[in-house]
Amino acid sequence: MPIAQASQIEDIIKGTTNVIGSLVFVVFGIAVLVFSWGIVKLIAAAGSPEKIKQARAIIWYGIIGMFVFVSIWGIITFLQKDIGIESGAPVPPPQFTPR
């Protein structure tokens, strides 16, 4: 079994990072759509207490989803600045020195 080259590891890390970054935006977009759908359902409820309750629950799910993803994004940004890793820059593989 061949040993992976450093460039192959960097390519894998870059690809994984790109996929995860895309998924975060997609899931955040879904949270915004859930929130918007809750607003539409609240407007359409027109005085029905049960429908208003369901619409408010949907709105809260959307708000919580957006809050979680914005918080994760903020934590990642803070750690990148604190550790000194630039956004999108490849992370160098660890170097081992033989004894």
Give the three-state DSSP class for 96: coil
Mean pLDDT of the chain: 81
Residue 88 pLDDT = 61
Residue pair 24/72 in contact (Cβ under 8 Å)? The answer is: yes
Domain assignments of the chain as residue spans, ordered by start = 23-83
Residue pair 66/31 in contact (Cβ under 8 Å)? The answer is: yes
Examine the pLDDT at 90 and tell me if it is beyond 90: no
Residues 36, 58: Cα–Cα separation, whole Å: 9
Mean pLDDT value across residues 16-32 = 82
